[in-house]
Structure 1
Amino acid sequence: MTVVDLGNGSQVLHTPRFISYQDSCQFFDYLNQNIPWTRPTIRVFAKSHVQPRDTCYVAIEGLTQLVYSGYQPHAYTWNDFSPLKDILDLVLKAIPGSSFNSLLLNRYKGGNDYVGWHADDEKLYGQTPQIASVSFGGERDFLLKKKPSKVVQYEPARNNEGGPPNKRSKKVNHGDQHSFLLKHGSLLVMSGFTQRDWVHSVPKRVKADSVRINLTFRLIL
């Protein structure tokens, strides 16, 4: 397992070979064939779009309902797909002290399927969510970049000699960026203030012609 300290309380753990190749193939086949995948319509910047990947949502009963980009997925239970509980057990053993009660699954059918820059910073996950991502199938790049920060600048007052300076805010982009190749059977964990200070994406890749399935385990408070 590789530990990447992003600074200011943000951390990423990466294990390229978390689940054996043979077991990963069995999990992939099951998920690809048995999960009730859907490709919903979501709203981004006040416009409706078909989400560029398939999805499914699993959670224990009684949790706050998940809503993202104007879409509220149906919540299946862990008992509906028993192999998911086996994968969850492996994740819990690999991350001592962790706890997860929900799971968002995504299926990328090829290189044109992707997820844009975003942070999983919904309030239902709390201020320092831990998100564990397990990947099966085709390899894809996972990118992380630091959120731009606001810098307050002061300028001399105009037409008001001797008055207070004018204040304005300016966003400053940071050069900090990290890339991880998520392989078949890999594990990547984001923790601490990663969702507060960073955004992540899985960009389009022309040569990525195989199916990738990704499971992101989360804790809803």
Structure 2
Amino acid sequence: MMTLRLKSEPISEEEEEGEPTPSSRSGEEPAKKSTRVDLGNGSEVVYMPRFLSSDESWRFYNYLNSRIPWTRPTIRVFGRSCLQHRDTCYVANAGLTDLVYSGYQPHAYSWDDYPLLKEILEAVHNVLPGSKFNSLLLNRYKGGSDYVGWHSDDEKLYGSAPEIASVSFGCEREFFLKKKPSKTSQARRPDDGPVRKRSRIGSDAAQHTFVLKHGSLLVMRGYTQRDWIHSVPKRAKAEGVRINLTFRRIVS
């Protein structure tokens, strides 16, 4: 169900349950909309397609695309070394546990190195009361052949039920969620092919699909990383650059 929200106001519990929030002052900009998807068993996703205005989004996009020290690292997948299929950068508070994934440990830059990142972080905190993100993994998809395969962000340093806030800029790309294989089927390697569903926001009992728009915010909460995997697959027609910021909290 679509819900209404004013700019710079937090996403409230009532909104997530589907109650509309009207504008409180005449002449205020049109209310924004968010969608809450209950995945069951303590997992949920909240999607806000217009988290940032168009002007803000392009300002951030141009800054990120030109100023961030992007790198395309070599990682290890199924025991083999390969070039990661997207550019990346990492920002974190000082003194946190190092991030390591697929055999790669990125250098942790400071928030002070890139001040506009703190603006985006503040905007995220404003709409997610109680959130205290202290690290940020940035990814840049330079075209439709760049992608991220099926995975979950279930590293121990994020705790057992992490909240992850994902802000997207640039080219729209599909984001898929699907239920992890049951224990009885985990002996088989999960299907790494793309989910076939193509609705704008679609779902069935085991999978959900979102098209992440320029300036949008998607939040994964609860046990989503424990019970679900997600991906951004290749798309031949996606010719533009997409930049994605995933805010996380390191707890250990």
TM-score scaled by length of structure 1: 0.90
CA RMSD of aligned residues (A): 1.7
Q: What are the ranges of 5 or more consecutive residues in structure 2 without an aligned counterpart?
A: 1-33, 191-203
Alignment partner, residue 205 of structure 1? 235
Alignment partner, residue 6 of structure 2? none
> How much does 1:151 deviate?
3.5
CA distance in 2, matches of 1:73, 1:30: 21
Alignment partner, residue 195 of structure 1? 225
Alignment partner, residue 155 of structure 1? none
Alignment partner, residue 149 of structure 1? 182
| Structure 1 or 2: more strand by fraction | 1
> How much does 1:96 deviate?
1.0
**Secondary structure in 2 matching 1:31:** helix
TM-score scaled by length of structure 2: 0.79
Task: List, as ranges, runs of 4+ consecutive aligned residues in structure 1 with deviation greater than 4 Å.
Answer: none
Provide closer, same or farther for how the CA distance between residues 43 and 170 of structure 1 changes in structure 2, counting only shifts above 3 A. Answer: closer
**Secondary structure in 1 matching 2:218:** strand
Could you tell me the percent identity over the aligned residues? 69
**Secondary structure in 1 matching 2:183:** strand
Provide closer, same or farther for how the CA distance between residues 79 and 147 of structure 1 changes in structure 2, counting only shifts above 3 A. Answer: same
**Secondary structure in 2 matching 1:12:** strand
Match of 2:170 among 137, 160, 169: 137
Q: What are the ranges of 5 or more consecutive residues in structure 1 without an aligned counterpart?
A: 153-168
CA distance in 2, matches of 1:76, 1:170: 39
Count of residue pairs the alignment pairs up: 205
Match of 1:34 among 57, 67, 78: 67
**Secondary structure in 2 matching 1:2:** strand
CA distance in 2, matches of 1:61, 1:99: 15
> How much does 1:176 deviate?
0.6
**Secondary structure in 2 matching 1:88:** helix
Question: Which string of whole-angstrom CA distances, capped at 9 and with x for unpartnered residues, describes residues 146-191 of structure 1?
Answer: 0011249xxxxxxxxxxxxxxxx877x8961000000000000000
Following superposition of structure 1 onto structure 2, how do residues 61-140 of structure 1 map, counting pairs within 5 Å? 61-140=94-173
Provide closer, same or farther for how the CA distance between residues 23 and 119 of structure 1 changes in structure 2, counting only shifts above 3 A. Answer: same
Aligned-partner residue type, residue 132 of structure 1: A
Instruction: From the CA coordinates, give the structure whose radius of gyration is larger.
Output: 1
CA distance in 1, matches of 2:208, 2:88: 25
Alignment partner, residue 249 of structure 2? 219
**Secondary structure in 2 matching 1:89:** helix
Aligned-partner residue type, residue 209 of structure 2: S
